[in-house]
């Protein structure tokens, strides 16, 4: 219907940035989660 | 509290670092006055007699999973390191490492113009433009240290497998790393003059 | 004229939509048990005071029960009609996490589609929280325990690195 079909690319551009975003997201989730022994006042800082 | 902190996260970070430094100094002073020389006694004494200082002390153990579980797996995934090292391509690894994120990395100072910095090892809790802010496991208490990137060489290792202790070791030339971690992501590193790094060769 | 392109999308490592509601292995059996052991008995009773067990059917009462620590260690079953269209999504969204964070052990049991009709006499939104003390039939308890998986929130338990999940989204752009 008028759309040029192309096969999906084998590699993804800027894969490193996706790795980094994925890591930082998990890092923030880990730091924000209340942990035993963590100083309470520092959670917002995380 | 999130709104306040998010608005001034830089101020909140500075307050956090200063409060940790202050409580560390008070704590070392108390240890010296009471002639306490080992960790357990000091933490039980503080928990009993000075709970406010004890609360404000940074805990190195809370950051270890950040390095062991998260950062190591991230960097192995980034360099696509499998257990068989043969597949690693050195130069592409360097390019990826120059763009990688070092929050959560375990760095050690190997060379520095400032001799008192040599040998310091800690987990990066914040990678700022001109400093690596490390949390260091101390003999008596854990401390937060701001290590300047200028005139310093850092080293980190990527263990290859849990069984033997083979690891990949890389050095970070602090003088070439004085950019914010977000800016480094899109930056291409070019070869530059190196007369400001003679310390790297001399000692 | 348009051209097909693929946009890389980073999947959120923490959404576990697939497991948000624990899997029920033998759904017809569980539904049969709930009807015969619980609902059919409740249908003959006029008021709540006659109920032979401690159970809650109002959303606010359930939230209050799950978020307050009553000091009792009895496990709790929460039956939810989460597949019926009549139940607001806003109520359902917070239930899995609420059960996970509750101070007591909560078994979250999702019921099959069209179960809401059988709940009409008991609960408006198809929620029923049953405290499993010794008044509840043991066989019923063991069957439910055996057939319903536990709640899982990977990022709330131990820290574990989730690998990067990048997927390609097929779309088109004008040439």
End-to-end CA separation in angstroms for chain A: 50
Taking CA atoms, what residue in B is nearest to A15?
Answer: B78
C4 closest CB neighbour out of A3, A21, A33: A3
Does pTM surpass 0.90? no
Q: Is B73 on the interface with C (CB under 8 A)?
A: yes
B90: which 2 tokens? 């050195």
Token pair 């050195």 is found at B90
Instruction: Tell me the pairing of strands C2-10 and A3-4.
Output: parallel
Burial C89-114 (b: 16+ CB within 10 A, else e): eebbeebbebbbebebebbbbbbeee
Name the band, by pLDDT with cuts 50, 70 and 90, for residue B84. Answer: low
Q: Is C164 on the interface with B (CB under 8 A)?
A: yes
pLDDT at B132: 96
Interval B27-61: pLDDT, tens: 999 999 999 889 888 988 988 888 888 888 888 98
pLDDT at A35: 66
Contact map slice: A 11-30 vs C, CB within 8 A: 12-15, 18-19, 21-23, 25-26, 29-30
Cβ-defined contact of A30 to C159 (cutoff 8 Å): yes
Is pLDDT at C131 greater than 80 in this prediction? yes
Name the band, by pLDDT with cuts 50, 70 and 90, for residue C91. Answer: confident
pLDDT at C73: 78
Question: Environment class of residue B156 by beta-carbon count within 10 Å: exposed (0-12), middle (13-18) or buried (19+)?
Answer: buried
Is pLDDT at B4 greater than 80 in this prediction? no
Q: Is B87 on the interface with C (CB under 8 A)?
A: no
Cβ-defined contact of A23 to B2 (cutoff 8 Å): no
Closest CA to C116 of C91, C92, C80, C144: C80
Question: Which chains does chain A touch, 3 or more C-beta pairs < 8 A?
Answer: B, C
ipTM over 0.90 threshold: no
pLDDT at A39: 61
Taking CA atoms, what residue in C is nearest to B65?
Answer: C159
DSSP string, C113-170: TT-HHHHTTT-TTSEEEEE-STTS-HHHHHHHHHHBPPP--TTTSS--PPPP-EEEEE
B85: which 2 tokens? 């090292």
Token pair 């009792």 is found at C72
Question: Which chains does chain C touch, 3 or more C-beta pairs < 8 A?
Answer: A, B
pLDDT at C60: 92
| Neighboring chain B residues of A20 at a CB cutoff of 8 Å | 74, 78, 99-101, 185
């Amino acid at each position: 219907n008028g759309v040029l079909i192309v096969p999906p690319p084998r590699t993804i551009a800027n894969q490193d940035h996706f790795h980094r975003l994925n890591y930082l997201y998990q890092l923030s989730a880990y730091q924000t989660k209340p942990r035993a022994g963590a100083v309470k006042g520092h959670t917002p800082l995380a | 509290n999130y709104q306040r902190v998010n608005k001034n996260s830089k101020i909140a970070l500075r307050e956090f670092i200063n409060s940790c430094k202050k409580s560390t100094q008070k704590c070392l002073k108390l240890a010296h006055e009471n002639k306490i020389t080992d960790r357990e006694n000091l933490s039980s004494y503080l928990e009993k007699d000075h709970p406010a200082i004890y609360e404000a002390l940074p805990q190195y153990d809370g950051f270890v999973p950040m390095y062991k579980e998260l950062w190591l797996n991230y960097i192995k995934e980034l360099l696509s390191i499998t257990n068989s090292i043969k597949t690693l391509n050195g130069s592409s690894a360097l390019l990826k490492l120059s763009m990688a994120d070092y929050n959560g990395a375990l760095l050690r100072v190997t060379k520095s113009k400032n001799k008192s910095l040599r040998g310091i090892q800690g987990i990066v809790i914040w990678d700022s433009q001109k400093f690596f802010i490390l949390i260091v496991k101390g003999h008596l208490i854990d401390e937060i240290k701001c290590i300047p990137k200028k005139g310093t060489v850092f080293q980190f290792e990527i263990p290859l497998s849990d069984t033997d202790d083979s690891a990949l070791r890389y050095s970070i030339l602090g003088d070439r790393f004085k950019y914010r971690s977000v800016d480094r992501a899109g930056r291409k590193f070019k070869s530059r003059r190196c007369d400001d790094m003679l310390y790297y060769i001399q000692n | 004229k348009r051209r097909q392109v693929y946009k890389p999308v980073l999947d959120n490592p923490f959404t576990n939509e697939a497991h948000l509601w624990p899997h029920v292995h033998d759904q017809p059996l569980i539904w049969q048990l709930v009807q015969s052991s619980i609902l059919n008995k409740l249908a003959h009773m006029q008021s709540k005071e006659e109920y032979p067990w401690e159970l809650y059917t109002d959303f606010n009462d359930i939230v209050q029960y799950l978020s307050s620590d009553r000091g009792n260690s009895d496990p709790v079953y929460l039956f939810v009609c989460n597949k019926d269209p009549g139940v607001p999504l806003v109520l359902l969204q917070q239930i899995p996490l609420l059960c996970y964070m509750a101070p007591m052990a909560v078994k979250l049991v999702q019921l099959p589609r069209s179960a809401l009709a059988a709940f009409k006499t008991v609960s408006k939104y198809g929620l029923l929280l049953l405290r499993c003390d010794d008044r509840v039939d043991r066989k019923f308890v063991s069957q439910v325990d055996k057939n319903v998986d536990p709640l899982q929130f990977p990022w709330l338990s131990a820290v574990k690195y989730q690998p990067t999940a990048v997927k390609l989204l097929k779309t088109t752009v004008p040439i």
